Amino acid sequence: VQVEGPMKKKGSSFNVAARIGWIEALLRPAINLYTLDDSYYVNDYTRDGNYAFGDFNGKFTWHPTASDKVSASFYVGHDMLILKEVRPDKKSSNWGNVLASAAWTHSPSDESGFELVTYVSDGYCVLSDTETYVSPKSSYVRTETNRSNLTNVGARMDAFRKYGWNNLGFGGSFHSLISRPYSIVKTKKKPAGGKAEVTATYHDDNRFSLSADVYCEDEMKP
């Protein structure tokens, strides 16, 4: 589904779109039919599951003057994969990306101009494993979740200036990268809605890096 058009403020417009995948309509029945001999996985083979994805993105643009344009963009994407086994156990994976950016373009004439862009993005992946254990003496549900993130924040500028048969371009960029390789949380609780007990939590140290660059070029057409 996509909707676009002008807004009330003069010189502004919007464009938004949303999608969902249809592949689960074929994949889910296929997973349900896929079974292996019991001896392969000791009765832990896949019996039910689902894969689905969707995303949403949009852009807003505004022209405050004849030589200026301001825009904002965003995007959200999400995928999930769930596999259930013969026992009341479940494995799930969720991953996706979130992105937002803003840009300002200034072109007073065909001879000069610049563009400034700032952005932030976050990619994530969550793996979860849930196991249910029932016996006459003890019953519990154990869940282990592993989450990882990769976040990027930055800005860049590109400018040009024409004079004679020279077209001078220059600019630069700066960004920081934050990485969390993994964060594991283990919980254990009774199936009948008992209070969850966090048995172990592991947080790996974040990795942080900075990067910057500048450039200058001249295109000549005698």
The SS3 of residue 86 is coil
Neighbour tally for 164: CB within 10 Å: 8
Position 63 pLDDT exceeds 50: yes
Residue 147 near residue 183 (C-beta atoms within 8 A): yes
Show Cβ contacts of residue 22 under 8 Å, excluding neighbours closer than 6 positions.
none
In the block, which residue shows the tokens 């001078």? 168
Distance CA 27, CA 210 (A): 42
> Phi and psi (nearest 5°) for 191?
-60, -25
Q: Output the CA torsion sign for 183, 50, 35, 190.
A: positive
Alpha helix positions (H), the chain: 24-33, 38-41
Letter for the amino acid at 76?
Answer: V
pLDDT score of 182: 76
pTM of structure:
0.73
Q: Which residue would you say has higher pLDDT here, 83 or 94?
A: 94
Confidence of residue 193 (pLDDT cuts 50, 70, 90): low
The whole-number average pLDDT for the span 86-112 is 87
Please compute the mean of the pLDDT values over residues 166-193 and round it to a whole number: 83
Q: Tell me what pLDDT residue 41 has.
A: 45
Mean pLDDT of 55-64: 94
Residue 204 clears pLDDT 90, i.e. is over it: no
CA distance 49 to 213: 46
187 pLDDT higher than 90: no
For residue 84, CA distances in Å to 38, 50, 88, 196 come to: 15, 9, 7, 22
